[in-house]
Structure 1
Amino acid sequence: MKVAVILSGCGVFDGAEIHESVLTILALAKAGAETEFLAPDIAQTSVINHLTGEIAESESRNVLVESARIARGKIKDIAQADAEDYAAVFFPGGFGAAKNLSDFASQGATSHVQADVLRFAKAVAQAGKPACYICIAPALIPHVYGAGARLTIGNDADTAAAITAMGGAHVNCAVTDIVIDEDRKIVSTPAYMLAQNIAEAATGIEAAVKATLALI
């Protein structure tokens, strides 16, 4: 059973959240799933100095190249990926989901999803295959599934309001819990939108991975 993990760079502030990515990969490995990593071959929206939290104005990085750090070099351009090759798809969070995979961080309810990511995610949805969205990544769901899709980013009122304005059916959720849209085969969990430590994030992510695989 092969599944796809979509990465958005490397680092919580400008890419994929590393703890969430690793926890997802670990849960999949323990479940016996074969993981293939995908990322868009595009420039990052910004580069953040993770020591200071400031924008590194003079730096530019590539999302695919940075994602390869987490994937240990084994990753492919999502533009070249076929949804038919995978039983399910997983989207770890981190600001990269809202800055690189989409522009939700800057545009909110009027945001768009990067074209190659949207094509792949919609193909997964149209094929009736399950998908797991973690942390802020559920902000992509209304673009992929349309109005009425049930999802969670935890309980942040402003983010939930933006998702509701996009047509999503947001459900408040504890960090260790998950929300499942049975009809659309979508699983989501808050992770570091709420988590105070890696153990809390792990509980929700492990539950989300288990539930997603059960939908296959």
Structure 2
Amino acid sequence: MSKLVAVILSGCGDYDGSEIHEATAVLYSISKLGYTYKCFAPLTKLDTVNHVTGKKDNTKRSVLEESARISRGEISPLRDLDTSKFSAVVLPGGFGVAKNLSDFAFKGSEMSINPTLETKLTEFKNKNKPIGACSIAAPIISKVIPKCKITMGNDRNVSSSITKLGGINESKLETEICVDIENKFVTTPSYLLCQRIDQVFDAVDNMVKKVLELSKK
């Protein structure tokens, strides 16, 4: 069994890329549990946001290059991800998921997904390999595989949006996880509900542990 886990990043920073605390927690948990991770990101451009003011600064940057800030330079283009070599895949949250990996931030339930990402996630699913996701990354799974169970917390409006995507939102608290055994999907609300960084690390650790457990079955 391979002990490699793919981690798909979407930039660097909650407003325009991967949520750094969630991404770091994912990498930490994978390593702590004795697995090795490899990071991937698409070769696309993003509009950056000033994280002090929360306003766009209209600077075009590479999603791959921004993501490399989190992975300390060790990263590959998403198109090069060979799903046959990995036990599982995990997607940290952050608005980059909704802006750079999809257009969920702009189109909601009518969103489309980066075609390469959709292909890779479908391959993981077809090979019966688990997929994990934090916070706002969860709807991506619903779009790729309809009728699956995920969690984005306990908000009714959120549940409605997931239903429109063809999925089922299971109400969960901050550090809890939703496990779709049939599809091998594991999701956690994480920063959608968490108020402290220690809660985020607990939530992500719970998710990663279950993903790796499912990768052995």
Which blocks of at least 5 consecutive residues in structure 1 are unaligned?
Answer: none
Larger mean CA deviation between 3-12 and 199-208 belongs to 199-208
Q: CA deviation at 1:125?
A: 0.7
Counterpart of 1:56? Answer: 57
Deviations 1:22-47 (A, max 9, x none): 01110111101110000101011x21
Distance 2:158 2:49 in 1: 22
1:39-188 alignment runs, 5 A limit: 39-44=41-46, 46-57=47-58, 59-146=59-146, 148-188=147-187
RMSD between aligned alpha carbons? 0.8
Distance 1:159 1:9 in 2: 24
Native 8 Å contact 1:83 1:120 kept in 2: yes
Deviations 1:60-87 (A, max 9, x none): 1110010000011110001121111110
TM-score normalised by structure 1 residue count: 0.97
- Size of the aligned set, in residue pairs, is 213
Counterpart of 2:38? Answer: 36
Counterpart of 1:23? Answer: 25
Instruction: Specify the SS of the correspondent of 1:20.
Output: helix
Distance 1:6 1:67 in 2: 9
Distance 2:113 2:157 in 1: 19
Q: CA deviation at 1:142?
A: 1.6
Which blocks of at least 5 consecutive residues in structure 2 are unaligned?
Answer: none
Deviations 1:159-214 (A, max 9, x none): 33211101001111101100000000000001100110101111111110101100
Aligned structure 1 segments of 4 or more residues deviating by more than 4 angstroms: none
Aligned-pair identity in percent equals 38
Q: Which of the pair is proportionally richer in strand?
A: 2
State the one-letter code of the partner of 2:114.
Q
Native 8 Å contact 2:40 2:76 kept in 1: yes
Native 8 Å contact 2:26 2:204 kept in 1: yes
Counterpart of 2:209? Answer: 210
Distance 1:142 1:94 in 2: 17
State the one-letter code of the partner of 1:27.
S
